[in-house]
Chain A
């Protein structure tokens, strides 16, 4: 009865394309990011590459070719390629790794050539004090030791969502390969066998994130999370972490810049020239110095601080069924479930088109809820109108999902906009004690007009216990809502603002999934 994850992602791929098209590097001002332009390569890129801007600039100077990245999660990017929706929209693909892409023949055949231009292994970054307390010698630590520390309650960590971020996916493969004891590429049987142990391991995961950037800031804010699992390059950029590549194996991202069969020879020639420029010694040096990735040419040594001791490379699954099965198990069985209150503005101003867009977006979102997830709908106007909680029961997921859709159908627009009073009630409702990823999504189309004001809410939030203060609010900018007001809520609670004025409401809801 499990919803096929790939299908969900496929339906999301198009949304992602539109939602993300506004997120290119911004150097081109008004452009929507999809129009072709001579001398410019439109690059479908992993979000991990957003730290490469200085390198893009350098390569632009060296070759006269401008790189215009559109950042996207690997799975979404692969779906876009496989379904032909990248044809004509992108000139090149640059993912953290093409391993997953190669499992999808319909996507792989779109790629003509690929050249890895740098590399970074999955690693664990541990607070230096914690590493000392655990008595760890960085060169000797194994996944089993990490697992043991988690079992003993001595180590908690954060990682990115494997369904939306390549770093999360590679981390998941590393952990599953290492803890399953598989001696070669993972099989379905390995994944099944490792299930119980992985479930224990993922109890230690206290932070999840749709992006490496937010993960780092949430980690800094929380103070009670001991470690982060991510690429070495990301962890090296976070102060105070001892970065460890587990001795018994890592999965390495090799960042292949890939040209596409759907492009013309001039475009592919530009990709080749950019690749060549990226592999020159000066640019390789710039890459390793600025981004902590490892060079792929023997003549440039890795930047200072990158330990050169060898590690076993854990093979990436060789079939789609194993890779998707692992992801599916993670989402629906292995990770801690999520628990979310959706605080939804159904004030009078939502009447008509806005309310119907909300209903469509929420209804679509039910296709993406995971097994065991607890979803509370809290529509509000002048005050909270109702509080309805549903759980997606693995035995019968459709029951809970149908109930959410029914409640959505019944939403009506009426009343003032009591943002802060409703938020306070959401926090009241989310007592702690449950072992979940807990968060609040706030969707509003206007400013606060009733009940508590921002100052009241600040005072309320400051009085909350530490556990509750860890619950972030993810506000969605929609309609005529006030960016500053919502930005403040996100900042106060450690959440992140999502923009459905520029992008779509569906896109914002979907993107937040990575943080739940």
Chain B
């Protein structure tokens, strides 16, 4: 109490304006001022929380959000003191954070987004011409994961694919670039999907299964060399014209690009026929954090904004489908025909990532 008195005194000495602001903050329940909520989030949600409309919608409910980004698996290494919530991109890192900070109760999961592969049209057509993908339209298609993994196993190069020779940039080993599975969620989920397919459509659980899957996963990662640590960075590189022809990103990133960009160029979205959804999961560290986490999933306005940023709100397919009406050239409204691979346990996933990085 003495400290608070001291601060108040100091504030009074500094001046009335500041004092008024502080008083306003203390008087949060009246709703005239907002409560600050500090959060650490996966980089793919940075644009959502920076959107002025999201800021406005949260302010209307009495919250000012300060968001910092971090790799989902790297959040474990951060000191989260002073934060109200952590918002990694999937359940596994969220569960670990919840255990570490002794968070009880259900963890809000306001929205999700499947992993997709982005390519430029030339690369997508070459994949389609070699039975590695099928295209439905010019800008959308399905990637045959089993065929792709076979190609990876055989060290297939672009040069060996029919029709690649006309594209100068399509040389070298055929691979999807992902983020670092040890620090970033999408990289880890890539391994989850690949190991599920390689394991004959069964989630990898036993040591023997891990051993069997490890060499292929190691190959998928080692051909990439240095990996980006965030999906945001990988997607930015793709947009700027740099990087590998095939990049694993979240569907939401593409949707957000389509929303702000009338002419997205010749980007093609390939939905892996077996993929993993990224279940963006809130780990509330304070009451305030829990309130905001729940609001994101419950408030119709915020759900709508999440859709605008390309996320699929939990529990209602119609919202996303309606909003993507104009983007169906690139996006699938319903994820029919896209199998959801379950994610291995956190321990298994860590082990797969470790072995894959070598």
Chain B's closest residue to A308 (CB) is B241
Contacting residues, chain A, for B236 (C-beta < 8 A): 115-116, 254, 296
- Given A119-B237, A298-B239, check contact A113 B226 (CB 8 Å): no
Chain B's closest residue to A268 (CB) is B68
Contact of A252 among B225, B237, B358 (CB under 8 A): B237
Q: How far is the CA of A249 from the CA of B225 in the complex (A)?
A: 15
Contacting residues, chain B, for A309 (C-beta < 8 A): 168
Known: A248-B168, A310-B169. 17 other contacts (CB 8 A): A102-B229, A112-B68, A112-B69, A113-B43, A114-B229, A114-B230, A115-B233, A184-B223, A254-B233, A295-B240, A297-B239, A298-B265, A302-B241, A314-B172, A315-B225, A315-B226, A317-B226
Interface residue total, chain A, C-beta cutoff 8 A: 52
- Given A112-B68, A315-B224, check contact A310 B168 (CB 8 Å): yes
Identify which of residues 102-137 in chain A touch chain B, using a CB-to-CB cut-off of 8 Å.
Answer: 102-103, 108-109, 111-116, 118-119, 121
Q: Are A249 and B240 in contact (CB under 8 A)?
A: no
- Given A113-B70, A312-B171, check contact A183 B157 (CB 8 Å): yes
Identify which of residues 28-49 in chain B touch chain A, using a CB-to-CB cut-off of 8 Å.
Answer: 38, 43
Q: How far is the CA of A115 from the CA of B225 in the complex (A)?
A: 19
Q: Are B225 and A184 in contact (CB under 8 A)?
A: yes
Q: What 0/1 pattern do residues 97 to 127 of B give for CB contact below 8 A with A?
A: 0000000000000000000000010000000
Q: Are A112 and B171 in contact (CB under 8 A)?
A: no
Q: What 0/1 pattern do residues 287 to 321 of A give for CB contact below 8 A with B?
A: 00000001111110010000011111111111100
Residue A265 interfacial (CB < 8 Å):
yes
Which of A99, A118, A183, A276 has the most B CB atoms < 10 Å from its CB?
Answer: A183
Shortest C-beta distance, B154 to chain A (Å), equals 12
Residue A261 interfacial (CB < 8 Å):
yes
Q: How far is the CA of A311 from the CA of B171 in the complex (A)?
A: 9
Shortest C-beta distance, B164 to chain A (Å), equals 11
Contacting residues, chain A, for B237 (C-beta < 8 A): 116, 119, 252, 254, 296
Q: Are B172 and A312 in contact (CB under 8 A)?
A: yes
Contacting residues, chain B, for A115 (C-beta < 8 A): 43, 69, 232-233, 236
Q: Are B260 and A299 in contact (CB under 8 A)?
A: yes
Contacting residues, chain A, for B265 (C-beta < 8 A): 298
Residue A418 interfacial (CB < 8 Å):
no
Q: Are A184 and B172 in contact (CB under 8 A)?
A: yes
Shortest C-beta distance, B253 to chain A (Å), equals 12
Shortest C-beta distance, A462 to chain B (Å), equals 47
Contact of B172 among A103, A112, A183, A319 (CB under 8 A): A183
Residue A247 interfacial (CB < 8 Å):
yes
Shortest C-beta distance, A130 to chain B (Å), equals 23
Contact of A318 among B77, B225, B232 (CB under 8 A): B225
Chain B's closest residue to A98 (CB) is B229
Interface residue total, chain B, C-beta cutoff 8 A: 52
Shortest C-beta distance, B46 to chain A (Å), equals 8
Contacting residues, chain B, for A184 (C-beta < 8 A): 155, 172-173, 175, 222-225
Q: What 0/1 pattern do residues 148 to 182 of B give for CB contact below 8 A with A?
A: 00000001010000000001111111010000100
Q: How far is the CA of A184 from the CA of B222 in the complex (A)?
A: 8
Residue B328 interfacial (CB < 8 Å):
no
- Given A113-B69, A184-B225, A261-B78, check contact A310 B239 (CB 8 Å): no
Contacting residues, chain B, for A183 (C-beta < 8 A): 155, 157, 172-173
Q: How far is the CA of A259 from the CA of B68 in the complex (A)?
A: 10
> Would you give 7 A-B contacts (Cβ < 8 Å), ordered by A?
A102-B180, A113-B69, A115-B232, A115-B233, A115-B236, A252-B237, A313-B243
Contacting residues, chain B, for A102 (C-beta < 8 A): 180, 226-227, 229
Q: Are A310 and B229 in contact (CB under 8 A)?
A: no
Q: How far is the CA of A312 from the CA of B169 in the complex (A)?
A: 4
Chain A's closest residue to B168 (CB) is A247
Residue A446 interfacial (CB < 8 Å):
no
Q: How far is the CA of A294 from the CA of B243 in the complex (A)?
A: 13
Residue B61 interfacial (CB < 8 Å):
no
Interface of B is mostly: loop
Shortest C-beta distance, B73 to chain A (Å), equals 12
Residue A186 interfacial (CB < 8 Å):
yes
Q: Are B222 and A318 in contact (CB under 8 A)?
A: yes
Q: How far is the CA of A297 from the CA of B230 in the complex (A)?
A: 16
Residue B5 interfacial (CB < 8 Å):
no
Residue A359 interfacial (CB < 8 Å):
no
Q: Are A116 and B223 in contact (CB under 8 A)?
A: no
Q: How far is the CA of A108 from the CA of B229 in the complex (A)?
A: 9
Residue B66 interfacial (CB < 8 Å):
yes
Q: Are A109 and B77 in contact (CB under 8 A)?
A: yes
Residue B300 interfacial (CB < 8 Å):
no
Chain A's closest residue to B357 (CB) is A318
Residue A269 interfacial (CB < 8 Å):
yes
Q: Are B233 and A318 in contact (CB under 8 A)?
A: no
Contact of B226 among A103, A111, A114, A297 (CB under 8 A): A103
Residue A256 interfacial (CB < 8 Å):
yes
Chain B's closest residue to A312 (CB) is B169
Contacting residues, chain A, for B183 (C-beta < 8 A): 108
Q: Are B172 and A249 in contact (CB under 8 A)?
A: yes
Chain B's closest residue to A306 (CB) is B241
Contacting residues, chain B, for A98 (C-beta < 8 A): 229
Shortest C-beta distance, A173 to chain B (Å), equals 9
Identify which of residues 229-257 in chain A touch chain B, using a CB-to-CB cut-off of 8 Å.
Answer: 247-249, 252, 254, 256
Residue B50 interfacial (CB < 8 Å):
yes
Contacting residues, chain A, for B222 (C-beta < 8 A): 184-185, 318
Residue A3 interfacial (CB < 8 Å):
no
Shortest C-beta distance, B10 to chain A (Å), equals 17
Residue A272 interfacial (CB < 8 Å):
yes
Contacting residues, chain A, for B239 (C-beta < 8 A): 296-298
Q: How far is the CA of A401 from the CA of B26 in the complex (A)?
A: 70
Shortest C-beta distance, A272 to chain B (Å), equals 7
Contacting residues, chain B, for A310 (C-beta < 8 A): 120, 167-169, 241
Q: How far is the CA of A186 from the CA of B70 in the complex (A)?
A: 29
Residue B257 interfacial (CB < 8 Å):
yes
Contacting residues, chain B, for A118 (C-beta < 8 A): 240
Contacting residues, chain B, for A116 (C-beta < 8 A): 233, 236-237, 240
Q: How far is the CA of A499 from the CA of B43 in the complex (A)?
A: 43
Residue B17 interfacial (CB < 8 Å):
no
Q: Are A248 and B232 in contact (CB under 8 A)?
A: no
Contacting residues, chain A, for B4 (C-beta < 8 A): none
